[in-house]
Structure 1
């Protein structure tokens, strides 16, 4: 089969099950299988596909037809201009999480002294690693309760040459060293919400939380005021419908709302737990 025919057939199959990115997914699967870029496909539509690679492409297409996320099939996901290795051990980086980086860079633009950041529930490490690459004055800790996730984070840090510390812990439990910034892209999906079929392939531990999706976020807020330095910043990703409850809890724990951007909340510590 030639490239154009495979792409046409694959796209039709993906469209038939309601995948909106059908053509893009088909091109990504075939390009990755052929170890070429998508531009190559467009230039050589009449080229015959090697039989062995044809079988591999079809097997990968079958996975996508079963609604396995394209990032898991390819083994990577682009995030903030860099490529991150992913596996079913970690949540796939989302475009909305890039807003956390944008807001962080905006609010810390004037900082030139050495600062410390901990990325709690780091998963693939994408947030903490990008922060380190964008702000070289940062000392960054990538923290997660999951050992398999930390292995992926460490691999990404090595690949992208980000000098970070890997630390296994649950939320901020046991965190002794004070930090200036906290990133928290924790599970916030309520199990009663309607979710896409692809989510069943991602780790539940990284997606779902009790108490309307807020159990871990609220627990983290209660811990954060003892770990942050004065005027430290806490960045949280959550659904906008959850923001008001998060802010209420944050105020009770000595924070004020600094700014919000779509799914992202930036909270500034104005008094420690001892002062509340």
Structure 2
């Protein structure tokens, strides 16, 4: 556990829940399919252990269809939770309104490639986003993009025609061996200043080439904080699906990494409390 506690009202902006499977059957998501249940009660126990008050569930394909498990959690804990959905382009207005009323704030779009190959198949793609964008904008939703910064730079002219803001997962999912000076990452740091983009300070365990304690990711987080701390939020990515027991990140290590990279208490509070309140409507 890090020495410095999180401030009151801190928010974990990237988690997933799964099950109980008897009520919410999961489905295959390749290597990102969990091998056990991770219901909302286990999430809350983790948050209590590290000092988190509230957070954002990103509905995962492996959690089952139609956002059911996530919607049920939001209805039980409306003051504590917000969520990101996966929907089809033919979703009805009534369903979008229902999700909005429950606390859903956006959709997750899968555009992630590494070395030119998709990392995970399924979910929503760019065509889905284009089809839905006007209806999402009417409801104040944003697009959460699972994408590498070089690919984001290429797609930005097309994306920015849409009437939406964009939240970028896992520090732009740039593998650390590309370096902080990597063109796509530097472009994104500049774009973060425009007001159209947000970024999640998360995923160090996925972007690292060295492993724990993820020292090779520090320069990336520091660069994002320097670029625009008003557009950053933080997340654990619990329960870390896709990891092996040997690579599963310890939360104390993730917290320590954040505090090393963001030593200023006022900026930490902004990222942990104030920015999530604005972005997700807490």
Shorter-chain TM-score range: 0.3 to 0.5
TM-score where L is the length of structure 1: 0.33
TM, length-normalised to structure 2 = 0.33
Higher relative contact order (CA 8 A, sep 6+): 2
Q: Which has the larger radius of gyration?
A: 1
* Bigger share in strand: 1
